[in-house]
Structure 1
């Protein structure tokens, strides 16, 4: 089975697409990364908070995202020398703009802006989308969904290991030795706050290689205030997003720190990101001996150094060492989720999301 996976994460840096053979085995045949168009990125960020004319703006943003995704699909086909008829499905995550499972009415919602019908029309391939809502309907968090994929690709019977995805938000997958029960949860911010701060003070989309943070000093009182966030101590299942870790959240914790240089704030945010993940791993999976890191954070040398320092007993390394580059992991997971839908296989892990049971995820939009 050959599927395409498309992912644009909380960091909104761009759209990653992979074309993968999934049955038998797993082999990535092509990968494409396209930066998110600046105007679309700004609109998607704005739609994370309440504003005027949201329905109209959201619909147009979903159309624009689908057209950008279709360009990624076309480039994947061109690079691999394949045609649309060679691909069974495209798994499209869409772009999360609100994530409030269990809130308000006892059910809540998770909202990924997407236009899978338009994508199917543009690329001529069946599209599977809306992966999270069935898990939420079954009482789950709808996130994280990647632990089942991580278990298949990175699980080892002879060693306990963990996978840390550092996109906009950080999430952990805990893979015990000997085929024990897989666990996973969102553990705190990934790059979201780091990107926010470097954009504000240096006009850059991200802190390349963490160089700015590496040159600053951690401000201990601010770090303590950040680490006091109740979400970090909450028991799984749990998930989060920009609904929690946003500009106003950071502004509240920066009150009274006007004298702290911006570079030191960046260093403190980097330490906060690494410490939130490290402490969650130590609390919930102390037997782990390896930490595999994926997402954009795996390319941030400063973050990787901080994680290694905080976890001296573990081997901290990129998923590239396991044959899957860090920027391909999530997109490949959504190709895998699309294949699971076509095969009628449940793909959530109730122990991870809190759902009442296994569910087939997604909805199919035929070519």
Structure 2
């Protein structure tokens, strides 16, 4: 998995038994993106010269990085490629416009799954989102069905939030289909601001945010973003939350603000967006599990817990799956569902006309 944070590739090797019961993660590899490749991917988030050519070459380069991660996973697990049934390869989302323009819209993930299959000699399942779009859905988020399979508890109401570049929330209630939607920015604005002012790719532990003061006027302006008030199903990405969006808000509400205070406000924005969605449900949620890079941001976790005083806020690590492995494991699970010819989308999440088998298979031989 390589997500909207654009920080690199997380790969996991997952095991199922002969009865198709998930037995968890066997190995995990993280491979960061080099700064120049990260810049290439970021540039493809907006229209530019010769972008079809640039996207095709970036897809090739991404597939080579995926292949390197697969090789490292197999080495770590001392496992031959012949024992792996498939690789689930999501690709890198560069545009996400579901239901827009013509009623179907599109979602675009650069990738070259054929090249990945050729490099690995393993079947590759890719293009997970477009089938849901064709059925009238958002194509996102796709992880709630995995969350339900792995974390669901018949005796408790649980929520999970994946805080990558974008935050997406899953609600698991006993006896009900999972619900889920994109909340809004996760790390994307905080990372952008950290790169701009500190020259680092992220605010480690949220310490820079913790050093500043929240700017109420800016926070209220950010919270007034119309996307946050939309009812699910809904999904978003860098198409909406990007540098120009942030700069326009700063020009109106915080022109001369200290950079640390802006970072503190962006951290509060992510926390309050998530907490606000949960509080509006007016449900007694027994536990909020946090995964993705946001789970490693101590200040963000502190703010989430402060906003949700009655709900314990825990890292997914506390329930057996480290936060940086969850989304990659979800796409392994989606690939497994494809191999079983089992639907993996949830209409209550994406708004599609029904559940669908997701992905396309590129044989490894």
TM range (shorter): over 0.9
Contact conserved, 1:89 with 1:127, CA < 8 A, in 2? yes
Quick one: structure 1 residues 219 and 319, their matched pair in 2 at CA, closer, same or farther if it must change by over 3 Å?
same
Q: Which residue in 1 is equivalent to 2:235?
A: 239
Q: Distance in 2 between matches of 1:205 and 1:163?
A: 25
SS of residue in 2 equivalent to 1:26: strand
Task: Mark the runs of 5 or more structure 2 residues left unpaired by the alignment.
Answer: none
| Mapping of residues 38-53 of structure 1, within 5 Å | 38-53=35-50
Contact conserved, 1:222 with 1:268, CA < 8 A, in 2? yes
Match of residue 56, structure 2, among 56, 59, 62: 59
In the alignment, does 2:145 pair up with 1:148? yes
1:255 positional shift: 1.2
Q: Which residue in 2 is equivalent to 1:14?
A: 8
Task: Give the TM-score taking structure 1 as reference length.
Answer: 0.97
SS of residue in 2 equivalent to 1:103: coil
1:260 positional shift: 1.1
Greater CA drift, 285-294 or 90-99: 285-294
List per-residue Cα deviations over 1:264-321 (Å, max 9, x = no partner). Answer: 0000000000000000111135221210000000000000000000000001000001
Q: Which residue in 1 is equivalent to 2:244?
A: 248
Q: Which residue in 1 is equivalent to 2:223?
A: 227
Match of residue 214, structure 2, among 205, 215, 218: 218
In the alignment, does 2:341 pair up with 1:344? yes
Q: Which residue in 2 is equivalent to 1:105?
A: 102
Q: Distance in 2 between matches of 1:234 and 1:135?
A: 20
1:133 positional shift: 0.4
1:181 positional shift: 2.5
| Mapping of residues 134-213 of structure 1, within 5 Å | 134-176=131-173, 178-213=174-209
Match of residue 259, structure 1, among 243, 246, 256: 256
Contact conserved, 1:165 with 1:294, CA < 8 A, in 2? yes
Q: Which residue in 2 is equivalent to 1:303?
A: 300
Q: Which residue in 2 is equivalent to 1:35?
A: 32
Greater CA drift, 37-46 or 333-342: 37-46
SS of residue in 1 equivalent to 2:345: coil
In the alignment, does 2:268 pair up with 1:271? yes
1:45 positional shift: 0.4
1:65 positional shift: 0.2
Q: Which residue in 1 is equivalent to 2:361?
A: 364
1:67 positional shift: 0.2
In the alignment, does 2:333 pair up with 1:354? no
Contact conserved, 1:174 with 1:285, CA < 8 A, in 2? no
Task: Mark the runs of 5 or more structure 1 residues left unpaired by the alignment.
Answer: 1-6
Q: Distance in 1 between matches of 2:307 and 2:117?
A: 45
Contact conserved, 1:126 with 1:365, CA < 8 A, in 2? yes
Q: Distance in 2 between matches of 1:338 and 1:138?
A: 19
Q: Which residue in 2 is equivalent to 1:4?
A: none
Q: Distance in 2 between matches of 1:67 and 1:37?
A: 13
Task: Give the TM-score taking structure 2 as reference length.
Answer: 0.98
Q: Which residue in 1 is equivalent to 2:68?
A: 71
Contact conserved, 1:319 with 1:326, CA < 8 A, in 2? yes
| Cα RMSD after superposing both structures | 0.8
Q: Distance in 1 between matches of 2:81 and 2:177?
A: 38
Q: How many residues align?
A: 360
